[in-house]
Amino acid sequence: MRTEKLSISLTPEAIGVIDAYRSAHAIKSRSQVIEQALRRLREDDLESAYREAAATDAAEWDATAGDGLSHEPW
């Protein structure tokens, strides 16, 4: 996987959290801890979007479920 080097500024407390998590979970680098945290943020956003979609009125889904699709067999 292609990577790009970044420079970020964090508080000593944030660095401590990263290092403690890395040690506790046998993660090789701080970068991997940050990547895992970002992945979880994306998952949380996706979960929220699914939860919001599930709460949507069924009539709204029916109106858009077939957008661009016909009922004809391929």
Among positive and negative, which fits the CA dihedral 31, 19, 36, 7? Answer: negative
Total domains in the chain come to: 1
Classify residue 66: in a domain, yes or no.
Answer: no
pLDDT average, residue stretch 6-20: 97
| 40 is a domain residue | yes
| 43 domain residue, yes or no | yes
- State if pTM tops 0.85: no
Residue 72 lies in a domain: no
Residue 36 has pLDDT above 70, yes or no: yes
Q: Is 74 inside any structural domain?
A: no
Q: Which domain holds residue 28?
A: 12-52
Spatial separation of the C-alpha atoms in residues 37 and 56, rounded to whole Å:
29
